[in-house]
Amino acid sequence: MVLSTPVLSSIRYVRKFEWAPCTFALNAFLFIFGILMIVLDFPIPHPHRCLVSIRDGIYKDFLFMTRFMGRGIWYLFLATLVFSSLWEGRRNTRIVGAIFTCYLTLLAIAALVYGAWLSRKLEEVRREILVSQKTAEHYLAPKQIGLTKVQFEAMIEAVTHKYDHFTDNELDYVINAMSFTPENDGIVSLEELEYWLSDGPPLIV
């Protein structure tokens, strides 16, 4: 939707041959970030190294695009741009713009609510560990570099005394949020665990 918006808007302005530098800048912005969002989310089992480098750059410079809370705010912003870009056209374009805007807004609200809910659940685990005054090394065996997904889940169960605190998919989202790199190997390293347990604001998922 974000990628198709500048295409539809540009076709309209090319037909009229209007000088609209602001509209051109807006469409260029939507086009670039539409491409970035597709590169980040397209389900490619073994992506090309060029795509991998782009994803690395997204994790470095646009980390908010990899979190539910960040995406929620981002989708709300994009919804306003999509509405602004398509509402100036004909009736058919306005209808498409209204549909795109409503969908992006609903998706943004869902991402914000879900991200806040996951962040709250993860913060509950963090508080329980901090109250127990245990360090990250307590949950790792000697010379162990990190916790696997199963071990991380076992740690959460031992801390919260709940066997369904996170679902399998939710654990993937949490581990991804804790990861320092886009290559999510399903392991929470000692450094990542220490950073999560350090003083500071809650981790945003």
Alpha-carbon distance 147 to 33, whole Å?
A: 34
Q: Return the pLDDT at 89.
A: 65
pLDDT digits (tens, 9 = 90+) for 49-95: 888 788 888 877 888 888 899 999 999 999 999 998 888 767 777 88
Alpha-carbon distance 91 to 107, whole Å?
A: 24
Query: Both tokens of residue 12?
Result: 């309209």
pLDDT digits (tens, 9 = 90+) for 151-201: 999 899 988 888 888 998 999 899 988 887 776 677 888 898 999 998 888
Query: Both tokens of residue 89?
Result: 């056209």
Alpha-carbon distance 32 to 57, whole Å?
A: 14
Query: Both tokens of residue 158?
Result: 């031992």
pLDDT over 80 at 102, yes or no: yes
Question: How many Cβ atoms from other residues are within 10 Å of residue 55's Cβ?
Answer: 19
Q: Average pLDDT of 94-108? A: 92
What one-letter code names the amino acid at 87? W
The domains found in the chain, sorted by start residue, are 4-114 (no CATH), 117-197 (1.10.238)
Question: How many Cβ atoms from other residues are within 10 Å of residue 195's Cβ?
Answer: 14
Strand runs (DSSP E) across the chain, as ranges? 146-148, 187-189
If one compares 82 and 46, the residue with the highest pLDDT of the two is 82
